[in-house]
Each structure stands twice: as structure tokens, then as C-alpha cells.
Amino acid sequence: MQLTREQAEKLQPIIARQLQFLGKLCKRLDALRVDPTCEVYRATHAAFNGVHQLSVELHYQTCEHGVGRTATHP
């Protein structure tokens, strides 16, 4: 199942807020020089990467046909 364009557009601002929060948290952990092997550090960065991927996917789903992904990126 794929989201409708309208559904993706409604999710975008919610996901953007989460992405912003996680980005700030990653920067804060980096500024505090938290050990990168720490589970909290690793989980925070993994969460940021996952939410970023979701944000990009939602963006692609709001684009008109022929915009966004190319044939080489399924």
C-alpha cells in the first residue's frame, strides 16, 4: 500500500519536527563528546537516520510524476 499524496503532505510537518529534534539531540551528544559506542548515542543517530529516510520518502510521494526518484533508484 502506498500513501496518497495528501496523506504524505499531512505527515511531512510532523516528521520534520521529529527530525529536527533528533538532529539537535545528535549534535548535543556530539558536543558532549559522548562515546560513539554508547547505546544511547548509537540509537539516537540510528533514529535520526531512519526518520531522515522517512522524510525523504514522504517528499518523493508528494512530488508530481516524473519528479523525485529516477529509474535507477527504486
pLDDT digits (tens, 9 = 90+) for 10-63: 999 999 999 999 999 999 999 999 999 999 999 999 999 999 999 999 998 888
Question: Is residue 32 situated within a structural domain?
Answer: yes
Q: Determine which helix (DSSP H) or strand (DSSP E) holds 64, and give its type and residue range.
A: none
Q: pTM for the full model?
A: 0.82
Which three cell numbers mark 31? 558536543
Count up the domains in the chain and report the number. 1
Range of the domain at 37: 5-62
Question: Is residue 72 situated within a structural domain?
Answer: no
Question: What is the distance, to the nearest Å, from the Cα of residue 36 to the centroid of all Cα atoms in its chain?
Answer: 20
Question: Is residue 47 situated within a structural domain?
Answer: yes
Question: Is residue 19 situated within a structural domain?
Answer: yes
